[in-house]
Structure 1
Amino acid sequence: MFKKFLTQFFIFLAIVALIWFGLRRLDFKKATRIDQRIEQLEEKLGDVFLNIFKQQHLEIRDPEIHDYIESILEDLFEKNQIERKSIDIYLLKSSTVNAFALPGRNIILLSGLVGFTETPEEFIGVIAHEIAHVESDHVMRKLSREVGIAALFAAISGNYNMELLREVAKMLASNTYSRSLESEADLLAFEYLVNAGYNPQSLADLFHRFSEELDVLP
């Protein structure tokens, strides 16, 4: 009798284990599909927003400028173990002093920023700050909170809702992150700069000039 009970008990445990394992696999597959859809959404949004800004501003493709930027960014990426090819950086012609991150691991630099920065360290500091936003996934976190994932999916389905997408692009260019996200990006950018051998005070000085002369922060 006891033997029979043990046999039935182990069969029951095996069934429960199989059901649990099956449900876990289903949850994993579902989560994986959701993650894949979010990644696809981010890539599409990145392409759309890049096109919007490139229609508004001429992209600067000067090889000398490109090589210079790459040379000063080499240590920033290497010392922080960030794959250089994982982030695309675009320099667009504009008198506006600004830099901002886009979905799809893209960063926009406006040429007005180049003229405003007084040292290479300040310029690198701004890029470090935007890389921090990218690496911390702040862009999609901001969009999901302020626009909504469902609305973003709808905006790029069928005929793109360009009116909404242009408004979202403006919002991204305004760099209005929450205080907590900005603080997180500041701390991470300072860490990036120290790791690469730069004095983070240069970024603090630049932000001070931004607030005093432009009343904005990138």
Structure 2
Amino acid sequence: MINKTIFQGLIIGVAFFGLWFGLTQVNFVKFFEIEKRTTSAENKIGDLIWDDIQQTGEVVTNDTIVKTLDKLINPICKANGIERDSLKIHILKKAEINAFALPNNHLVVYTGLITDCKKQEALQGVLGHEIAHIENNHVMKKLSKEVGLSVLLAAASGGKGGQIVKEVFKTLSSTAYDRALEKEADMQSVKYLLKADINPEPMADFMYELAQKHDIPSGFGWISTHPESEERAKYILDYLKGKKFQKKQILTQKEWDDYKKQVENY
């Protein structure tokens, strides 16, 4: 019994010493300084990219168009505990079917995406997907991997920042996330919609329809940056099999049709 007690005491002592030694080797000041710099860089780069994007097309400021998009997004945020005011959502007048997330919670939606969606739930699904990228910090994970943290910090501090910002934007708007992050965003969006009593099936239908189009390089940015969409549509529909869920629509069919026409004629 005594030997067992002594042995247990030795184990605790060794564990305590190991923990103490490990903690003494961590430079917490340096760690948190890097974390602080990274957050600051993310915020600045996101704002710089958005400033640059504004020069490429007309920002839609029509009150009705903006508020109607908010009307579609708000239930998703409310049902999932996402602070709507933390998202900086911009509508840009461009025919390309695209939407993408930027650092610092910017989310850019092209008018071409809105007008191409047959159903409002498809648009909500795409927006939920991009919100998931923001909420799960996929944007910075992608940039840190493809561009490099040191380059991002340099871009935020000036120098050749302008050129780097353009490269960062190109990376975000024209190249895909890796498959694991894409699937995570897909399924997170599906769960967002289910919690908000919105039918996710049109999101899968939208992916499938875009996958059948062949002129992707010139006009289908969202699908060209999100490959294997037919496969993704399938695993979304497989996930929904046997699930009972509400199919609440935020807009009436007439309101949705009128909204698309207003956006198209803007």
TM-score, normalized by the shorter chain, greater than 0.5: yes
Matched letter for residue 99 of structure 2: A
CA–CA distance in 2 between the matches of 1:104 and 1:121?
26
> Which residue in the other structure is 2:72 paired with?
72
Q: Deviations over 1:80-119 (max 9, x none)?
A: 0001011111000101110000011111001110110111
The total of aligned residue pairs comes to 203
Question: Any idea what SS the aligned residue of 2:58 has?
Answer: coil
> Which residue in the other structure is 1:211 paired with?
211
- Structure 2 vs 1, CA of residues 63 and 175 (structure 1 numbering), >3 Å: closer, same or farther? farther
Q: Equivalent residues in 2 for 1:1-218 (5 A)?
A: 20=20, 27-213=27-213, 215=216, 217=223
CA contact (8 A) 2:95 2:112 kept: yes
Q: Percent of counterpart pairs with the same letter?
A: 35
CA–CA distance in 2 between the matches of 1:25 and 1:88?
40
CA contact (8 A) 1:73 1:124 kept: yes
How far 1:66 sits from its partner (Å)?
1.1
Which region of structure 1 is more displaced relative to structure 2, 23-32 or 173-182?
Answer: 23-32
Q: Deviations over 1:24-57 (max 9, x none)?
A: 6974433322221111010011011101111111
Query: Unaligned regions of 5+ residues in structure 2, if any?
Result: 1-12, 227-266
Q: Deviations over 1:103-157 (max 9, x none)?
A: 1111100111011011111111110010011111111000000110001112232
CA contact (8 A) 1:100 1:175 kept: no
Runs of 4+ deviating beyond 6 Å: none
Matched letter for residue 180 of structure 1: A
How far 1:165 sits from its partner (Å)?
1.9
Matched letter for residue 146 of structure 1: E
How far 1:175 sits from its partner (Å)?
4.4
> Which residue in the other structure is 1:7 paired with?
none
Question: Any idea what SS the aligned residue of 1:61 has?
Answer: coil
CA–CA distance in 2 between the matches of 1:62 and 1:71?
14
CA–CA distance in 2 between the matches of 1:154 and 1:24?
30
Matched letter for residue 112 of structure 1: G
Q: Deviations over 1:174-210 (max 9, x none)?
A: 1411111101111111110101111111110111112
TM (normalized to structure 2)?
0.71
CA–CA distance in 2 between the matches of 1:164 and 1:36?
21
CA–CA distance in 2 between the matches of 1:25 and 1:123?
49
